[in-house]
């Protein structure tokens, strides 16, 4: 059981790339830890960008010098080197993205964002699935404490036989405070044109080809453009799966990664945010859109139901015609959008990074039940 100010080590590697859900979570961990008076130290691994030195992320960073290929032997068999060999004396180490070194005295906490690679292996590559099995098995075997971002993920972990439910603490995430100021919606979106927004990386589980087909059906009755904002990554071509725009190209815009100022402007000016994922552990874009006052149409999956509650409209993520019909209905109905906008703002206020930090601290002070 841990009390008082802490010296927290965490895997800061997600902070080295464009912010997705795990990166946002890691950044907020750093912020809330420092606001609580804790000392936060980051361990970073395996990025080519490190050849030019460690970036300035506002905390002390230490490079992990263990080659990834040796992780199974060193971490699982020899249980060496301990996290203290990198970071010095540490009260707690948080595995933000499944990297969990052994520890001499530190309490180790594994944050399991999702188990989609095991519940929906068809949405991922074979290597991703295998790696997920190895990392989750390591976390389940060696971590002291376990946190999931939603009841949906906690239930999946239990159903897969990884951990009993009593050992999993649910700590929801929260939305970033995104600016709503004067940042312009970037070209090539025409000035003043109504648009639908999808904030998503381009990977199979995000269901972007489905969205393009549904938008193709809906666009016959709507004047809107479709804006897709998010990092493309190596799997973008595979994720799009040869999707055909069929004459829609002038109305479909892939912006790539959007800075927070741009993202805030996109959310605040979009008529509807569309979240068509086939699997999510939490669904941060749903929450961020609600916080920005943007109505949400989301696929009917467990995480979206849990995060959005009655404040989002749900539609089947495998039925293009039904999804398109819901899209037309919502985009054409100002009263319905206004109602969802009000509900969404109220719903988003139930989530905050202050509360996330409080519940994480509560988890750290709980007994380590086996």
Q: Looking at per-residue confidence, does 82 or 239 come out higher?
A: 82
| Separation of first and last alpha carbons in the chain | 14
Tokens of 81: 């080197």
In terms of DSSP bridges, do strands 252-256 and 60-63 run parallel, antiparallel, or are they unpaired? Answer: unpaired
* Residue 250: pLDDT band with limits 50, 70, 90: confident
Tokens of 1: 């059981």
pTM of the complete model: 0.92
Quick check: 83 pLDDT over 90?
yes
Q: Looking at per-residue confidence, does 261 or 209 come out higher?
A: 209
- Ranking 8-22, 123-137, 200-214 by mean pLDDT, the lowest is 8-22
CATH superfamily of 7-174+352-364: Glycogen Phosphorylase B; (3.40.50.2000)
Residues 242-249: contacts with CB under 8 Å, at least 24 apart: 242/209, 243/208, 243/209, 243/212, 243/213, 244/212, 245/212, 245/216, 246/216, 248/212, 248/215, 248/216, 248/219
Separation of alpha carbons 330 and 334, rounded Å: 8
Q: Looking at per-residue confidence, does 37 or 285 come out higher?
A: 285
Separation of alpha carbons 142 and 134, rounded Å: 12
* Residue 51: pLDDT band with limits 50, 70, 90: very low
Helix 320-331 to helix 208-218 angle (10° resolution) is: 60
pLDDT of residue 42: 95
Classify domain 195-348 by CATH number. Answer: 3.40.50.2000
pLDDT of residue 336: 98
The DSSP code sequence of 51-63 is GG-----SSEEEE
Separation of alpha carbons 89 and 189, rounded Å: 52
pLDDT of residue 261: 85
Separation of alpha carbons 175 and 74, rounded Å: 37
Can you list the alpha helix ranges (DSSP code H) found in 109-219? 116-119, 126-142, 151-159, 208-218
Separation of alpha carbons 369 and 352, rounded Å: 27
How much is the average pLDDT of 137-160? 97
Quick check: 216 pLDDT over 90?
yes
Separation of alpha carbons 297 and 332, rounded Å: 13
Indicate where the chain has its CATH 3.40.50.2000 domain(s): 7-174+352-364, 195-348
* Residue 234: pLDDT band with limits 50, 70, 90: very low
Beta-bridged to residue 229, according to DSSP, are 199, 256
* Residue 77: pLDDT band with limits 50, 70, 90: confident
Separation of alpha carbons 14 and 30, rounded Å: 12
How much is the average pLDDT of 307-334? 98
Distance of CA 5 to the CA centre of its chain: 28
Helix 284-291 to helix 334-348 angle (10° resolution) is: 110
């Amino acid at each position: 059981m841990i009390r008082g100010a802490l010296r927290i080590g965490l895997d800061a590697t997600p902070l080295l790339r464009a912010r997705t859900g795990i990166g946002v979570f890691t950044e907020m961990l750093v912020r809330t830890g420092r606001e609580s008076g804790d000392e936060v130290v980051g361990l970073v691994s395996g990025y080519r960008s490190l050849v030019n030195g460690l970036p300035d992320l506002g905390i002390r960073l230490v490079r992990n010098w263990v080659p990834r290929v040796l992780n199974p032997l060193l971490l699982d068999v020899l249980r060496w080197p301990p996290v203290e060999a990198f970071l010095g004396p540490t009260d707690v180490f948080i595995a933000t993205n499944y990297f969990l070194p052994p520890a001499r005295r530190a309490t180790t906490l594994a944050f399991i964002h999702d188990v989609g690679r095991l519940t929906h292996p068809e949405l991922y590559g074979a290597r991703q699935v295998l790696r997920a099995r190895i990392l989750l098995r390591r976390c389940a075997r060696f971590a002291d404490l376990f946190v999931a971002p939603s009841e949906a993920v906690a239930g999946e972990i239990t159903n897969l036989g990884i951990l009993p439910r009593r050992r999993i603490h649910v700590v929801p995430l929260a939305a970033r405070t995104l600016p709503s100021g004067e940042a312009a919606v970037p070209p090539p979106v025409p000035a003043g044109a109504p648009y639908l927004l999808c904030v998503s990386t381009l990977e199979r589980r995000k269901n972007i080809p489905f969205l393009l087909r549904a938008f193709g059906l809906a666009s016959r009755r709507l004047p809107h453009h479709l804006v897709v904002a998010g990092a493309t990554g190596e799997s973008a071509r595979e994720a799009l799966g040869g999707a055909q725009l069929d004459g829609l190209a002038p109305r479909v815009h892939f912006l790539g990664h959007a800075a927070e100022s741009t993202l805030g402007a996109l959310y605040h000016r979009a008529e509807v945010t569309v979240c068509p994922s086939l699997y999510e552990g939490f669904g941060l874009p749903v929450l961020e859109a609600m916080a920005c006052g943007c109505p949400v149409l989301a696929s009917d999956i467990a995480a979206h139901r849990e995060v959005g509650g009655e404040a989002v409209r749900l539609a089947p993520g495998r039925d293009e015609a039904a999804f398109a019909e819901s899209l037309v209905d919502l985009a054409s109905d100002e009263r319905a959008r206004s109602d969802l906008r009000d509900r969404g703002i109220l719903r988003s206020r139930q989530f905050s990074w202050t509360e996330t930090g409080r519940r994480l601290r509560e988890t750290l002070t709980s007994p380590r039940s086996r």
